[in-house]
Structure 1
């Protein structure tokens, strides 16, 4: 009996041991299964990450190759652009006087050499960049002016100069924009806007510092250092103060190519011309050819070339103004010139008296001439007519002489105003400020400066004046333009 109990006890112990072993094996198998699943997940994650990494590396390599290709394409298509206002940036006297010879070709060679040297100081890999030069000017007007001052024998010589200039370099062009001062400005401003954000245009040389009208177009770049660094301001004749204050821009001068002084009003009696030269254009660094009297080119070191400033002995000093402004060069009506020179210019006082001018200060801001005294009766008549008709006067029709709206205009056209009423209407329109303080429309009838400040020295309505934006502006006349864009500087 005792043995049976012992056997049963031993059997129970075996059973408990088997259960413990079974439980242990089950637990091991469960943990193995869990670890196996975790291993599978990790393996899948690893394989996925490996594929992603390989794809990323492949993509990076492709992008790097693409960037390298873009950089090569950018470098191969990079160029330098020079935008020059040829109405104010005038070529050197010696080059123009050799217009029928090799002057135009020589001018292109010099300009190409000067631009190449300047760009090389800014960029290390600019040797292969093509140089595109666009010079915009009014050919007939400039030709007449150059012939007048004795730099050309006759106006047609300028066309020969332009042809030789354009042929010398494949990307150099002198472009005739026709009559009108604003035409060259419009072209240059639009070209500047178009190419300032073009990545292939690596640098722009802007030759318009003689015209304050361009300042507004450069204002947007003056605080953007990266864009300003891509623009060089080319100074020829004395630059307006606003350009000299643009410190983030590069500044340069090409005195071997362009005059540093404005054109004289009359020809110098000592003017000589070079004869035509059959020798083709050359570009011999570090010197330039200079045009001599017999037309033969000589090599002159670059450092020895300066901008000539010929003395000017006026043939005539007679200038008839539309107003009596003592700040401009005028001749008395009742006496001869005191310097002994005699005017041979044709006199037509009636015609010249009607000539219109637009006046500007040294900053290029438009100035207004005082109007004749206003007739109170005419002003009252004008107001009564507008009140009776229920419409204001059409400024374009009465002051400009033309209205594009014709019979569909919402303002009064007929009957015509009397001269006194027209003057009263000018007073009304002058009280409205022109949006462009550098306005070049010579017939603009809006106000460009406060008349009270101009005439009295102060404005008693500083906070309500429609032209308060002009308060404090320089009121001294510096330059004036006629309808053809001819300029005349105050002494």
Structure 2
């Protein structure tokens, strides 16, 4: 007899097994469907990425081709720029003395090879770089100076020198900036600013280390190592102290091309003294506004364009009287500064123009002769009591006055200055201090600092036409210079020419 219960259990077991198999197959099918969808999505993503990559690679190849073209163009147009202040960087004597011949051409060749060798020592791929040289100078002013120290036979030779220099090399130029204050400086500074970020200008040789006026232009370079490495400071005459502190820049000297010392103030003379040129009689600074009245023994008073020159023994009363109205700041309305009172000198009576004394301008000027050598205006008469007071004060403290502070209005050393700042000097003591500083010669015969308080010409020779100390005078190198005012400049560099 069949066991019904056992068979029923077995059938239920089969049913459970069939359900489990169906569920398993359903799960497999569902997972397969999901994997199929993922595969389809990944395939689409892959195809998309493949297209993007291929387009990117194509773009990269095109850009690399452009970069290669740009690099070849950059290399082909790369150049080295030399910016030189020719008023301070002076060519070697032998080159200048051959100015009438091939001196200019030889100077260009030497400078080209000097720059080429220097750049080759810095860059391994510089053989194809062009060399561009721009020399800025006041041609007439420098020509007169070079002729005065016998480096040129005549000022006209410098123009021939410049022409041959420019012809020798296609990218070499000597540029005449004309007469005026800081014109060369302005152009060099602008060229430096323009080309320092120019990628085709691979290196700059700067030849103006003799002039402190350029220091400010290197402030934003000195801490930028990459830019500083692309600038060479060319030292000709001894560099200004501030340039020696710029440690991140390259340095060079082209002693075969440029002089390593400043020009002398005068040409050597066989007798051992400075060569004195023949000058026209001194024009007193009061001449445009003074009338000369003769003695009763002579004819009636007449107008004269200039007063006679005083002899070495003549009284200096005239100069003192006129200078009494003259401040150190050159506060004048004309080429002359007028005395407030007249004074009899050798029988002549000098009468100042009342109109001029009423109209005194506050504008300051720097005066120059035809050779553009700086001339000094006379100081007001010195007060003996103030001079004694000044000397006593320095002797008491054992320290001299700080000229920068009292006369210039500023001292960069501040409280660390070793000279006296306080107390403030009286007007008389200030004038006495001006007399002391005027006895010290300014190093720049062509000084353009309108506030300069140093001496630029011998006051004794200027006022008396004679210096009794020809061998010991601190300003003896100015003896014999042209003392006639030719041009004056205000602080903005604007020029007024004498009629």
Instruction: Select the residue among 266, 282, 294 that pairs with 1:348.
Output: 282
Residue 240 of structure 1: how far off its partner (Å): 1.1
Change (3 A) 1:154 1:78: same
Query: Residues 441-460 of structure 1, C-alpha deviation per residue, up to 9 Å, x if partnerless?
Result: 999xxxxxxxxx9x97679x
Alignment correspondent of 1:198: 198
Distance 2:83 2:232 in 1: 10
Alignment correspondent of 2:44: 44
Moved more, 185-194 or 94-103: 94-103
Residue 223 of structure 1: how far off its partner (Å): 1.3
Residue 58 of structure 1: how far off its partner (Å): 3.7
The answer as to whether partners of 1:264 and 1:312 remain within 8 angstroms in 2 is no
TM-score (normalizing by structure 1): 0.60
Distance 1:352 1:240 in 2: 39
Change (3 A) 1:205 1:442: farther
Alignment correspondent of 2:254: 254
The answer as to whether partners of 2:232 and 2:250 remain within 8 angstroms in 1 is yes
Alignment correspondent of 2:89: 89
Gaps of at least 5 residues in structure 2 are 289-322, 335-353, 365-373, 377-389, 395-399, 420-436, 458-473, 476-499
Query: Residues 139-158 of structure 1, C-alpha deviation per residue, up to 9 Å, x if partnerless?
Result: 11111111111111211111
The 5-angstrom pairing of residues 311-350 of structure 1 reads 313-316=273-276, 344-348=278-282, 350=284
The answer as to whether partners of 1:104 and 1:164 remain within 8 angstroms in 2 is yes
Change (3 A) 1:267 1:466: closer
Residue 135 of structure 1: how far off its partner (Å): 0.4
Distance 2:287 2:239 in 1: 31
Change (3 A) 1:479 1:248: same
Query: Residues 445-477 of structure 1, C-alpha deviation per residue, up to 9 Å, x if partnerless?
Result: xxxxxxxx9x97679xx9xx9847673679986
The answer as to whether partners of 1:135 and 1:174 remain within 8 angstroms in 2 is yes
Distance 1:178 1:6 in 2: 129
Alignment correspondent of 2:114: 114
Change (3 A) 1:129 1:164: same
Confirm or deny that 1:479 pairs with 2:443.
yes
The 5-angstrom pairing of residues 59-98 of structure 1 reads 59-98=59-98
The answer as to whether partners of 1:181 and 1:485 remain within 8 angstroms in 2 is no
Distance 1:422 1:352 in 2: 14
Change (3 A) 1:147 1:67: same
The answer as to whether partners of 1:233 and 1:250 remain within 8 angstroms in 2 is yes
Residue 70 of structure 1: how far off its partner (Å): 2.5
Distance 1:400 1:205 in 2: 44
Gaps of at least 5 residues in structure 1 are 271-310, 317-342, 355-371, 379-394, 402-414, 430-440, 444-452
Alignment correspondent of 1:369: none
Give SS of 1:44's match.
helix
Please give the root-mean-square deviation of Cα atoms over the aligned residues, in Å. 4.4
Query: Residues 351-410 of structure 1, C-alpha deviation per residue, up to 9 Å, x if partnerless?
Result: 5999xxxxxxxxxxxxxxxxx9999xx9xxxxxxxxxxxxxxxx99x8788xxxxxxxxx
Distance 2:198 2:85 in 1: 21
Residue 55 of structure 1: how far off its partner (Å): 3.9
The answer as to whether partners of 1:315 and 1:344 remain within 8 angstroms in 2 is no
